[in-house]
Amino acid sequence: MTAFTFNIAGIKWPGATARIYIGMPGSSPSGTSWRDGLARAANEWTDKTPFNFVVDQTYRNPCQGYTASGPNDDFNNGDGDGRNGADFSSTVCGNAYGDNTLAVTLIYTESNLLGGFDITEADIVFNANTRFDIYDGPLVDQSRGIDFGRVALHEMGHVIGMSHEQGSASIMRATIGNLFTLQPDDIEGATTLYTGYTNCPVTSIDFGRVSGALSGGDCSVKQLVGGGSDDSLVDTYEFTLAQSTSVSIGMSSSSLDSVLVLMDASSRVLDVDDDSGAGCDARISKTLAAGTYAVLANTFAEGSECGDTVGPYQITMSYQSSVLLERGRNTSLQGSVSNARFAGAVKAKNKSTYSNIVKPSEFFDVEGRITVDAQHQGQLGFIVVAGILDSGEILLRNSAGQFIPYDGQGGFTKASTKVLTALESVSILGNTRASDLGLNDIEVNFLIGYGVNSKPSELYFHSAPINLVVTP
């Protein structure tokens, strides 16, 4: 079996999904329709790999929009019609079939923001000069013809970007055989191709600053996307937004030419930046819907006038929002379950929106809000406010509004005691200016929580901190 393959270049469908039009007419000698054979093949890739075929019963001519330019020329010719069709044909849309060719997959691509290519259309042309039937089991009864189902399964692999496997038990082997279902090598290959950024180690990140370094042994873009030739190093971070938020991500380094890549949860590239920050620094600013995203700290494979291919960097994530930010899932010290929700943000007095970045000379407030679990409303309880310095020191706010060091001996310093209402507003810091405290560059992460007097050792709080960065 000979068919098109280009996986070595790392091409694939954005979002790991494609609509395949299977409505080719007719049935096999055994009575199974060709469209059912196509559907079975598409559904097997969907069921066993991260890729998702949307099966459409409509017919689409696979040669529509194709421009032939030579024998077996099966890559990126013409404009296509934007539909992934399939049918029998005595030629490859005007070209002669190669020797022993059972089917050809025609691929259309466009360049993406990472410098590679995305598949935009893939059509399957089955050789009408071949006798086909549909059956399972060993390929021994040649009097029945070639099994259409295993050929379709192979070609569907090419549609999603898979190449031929060499020397392994695989439906993607270049020659047809007794296999008629996907094998572990097929599934592993598709999983690598479409796992996306989780092909590399992933570190959680949130608003604030994080330091890292690109060094030998790190993951490469080639490993991350499952192919291609980009060997530049990359560190991968992941964050989750509970609501639509305007986010700014900056990457700075004294030794690297910083490159930032922003992806969605399906590894679709949303933005790439090299030098929108100061000098050789990178910056991406974007309003993002609620969901999970990846940030890639990257550089150039061969360095540039801005720096080397290895070295330390710092990423700073900030936000602008008209409302308090939801701060992650709720948790508790002793594992009790609750439906409490927590929100918080920082607002400089001279700004109309919330943001976690303030200047030393700006007066600012840090505000919090607790939606108390219904089972705790009306009970006598307490509010706790904690600040975690970038040094790791923990401070707890007392009832006089002062932050005092936590001694680690247990017990809570309570910011207030009260009968808990459904919605508790918490003033974490009010009308504060860092320069008055002798602070010029500091990061603090705040947590707010509550407890009830009937369970004095339990505290309900949030997993994502309320971040404050004071920077010149």
Give the Cα separation of 340 and 56 in Å (integer).
44
**Region 367-388: what's the mean pLDDT?**
97
**Predicted pLDDT at 456:** 92
pLDDT over 70, % of the chain: 93
Look at residue 451 and tell me whether its pLDDT is greater than 50: yes
Q: Name the one residue in this structure whose structure tokens are 């030579």.
A: 70
How confident is the model over 246-262, as pLDDT tens digits?
Answer: 999 999 999 988 999 99
- For range 86-102, the mean pLDDT: 92
Confidence of residue 390 (pLDDT cuts 50, 70, 90): confident
pLDDT value at residue 4: 32
Tell me the per-residue pLDDT of 264-300, one tens digit each, with 9 for 90 and over: 998 888 999 988 877 889 999 999 999 999 999 999 8
Write down the pLDDT at residue 41.
Answer: 97
Full set of structural domains in the chain with CATH = 7-195 (3.40.390.10), 200-320 (2.60.120.380), 325-470 (2.60.40)
Alpha-carbon distance of 449 to 457, in angstroms, equals: 12
Q: What pLDDT shows up at residue 470?
A: 97
**pLDDT band, very low/low/confident/very high, at 7 (cuts 50, 70, 90):** very low
In terms of average pLDDT, the best of 25-34, 89-98, 185-194, 258-267 is 25-34
pLDDT score of 237: 97
The predicted structure's pLDDT at residue 10: 63
State mean pLDDT over 57-65: 94
Q: What is the pLDDT of residue 453?
A: 96
Instruction: Confirm if 85 and 60 have CB atoms less than 8 A apart.
Output: yes
Q: Does residue 321 register a pLDDT over 90?
A: yes
Query: 97-106, 135-144, 174-183: lowest mean pLDDT where?
Result: 135-144
Tokens at residue 269, please? 């590239």
Residue 3 pLDDT grade (very low, low, confident, very high; cuts 50, 70, 90): very low
Q: How many residues does the chain have?
A: 472
442-452 and 466-470: which strand pairing? antiparallel
- Residue 352 CB contacts under 8 Å (≥ 6 apart), including other chains: none
* DSSP letter (8 states) at residue 293: E
- pLDDT band of 70, cuts 50, 70, 90: very low
Tokens in use for 114?
């990472």
The pLDDT value given to residue 274: 87
Give yes or no for residue 426 having a pLDDT over 50. yes
> What rounded mean pLDDT belongs to the chain?
89
CA dist., res. 146 & res. 133, Å (int)? 6
What is Dmax (Cα atoms) for the chain? 91
pLDDT at 209 over 60: yes
Cα 278 to Cα 274: distance, rounded to the nearest angstrom: 11
Give the other-Cβ count within 10 Å of 295's Cβ: 24
For the chain, what is the radius of gyration of the CA atoms?
29
Q: What is the mean pLDDT of residues 414-436?
A: 96
What's the whole-number mean pLDDT along residues 126-155? 89
Give the pLDDT confidence score for residue 434 in this predicted structure: 96
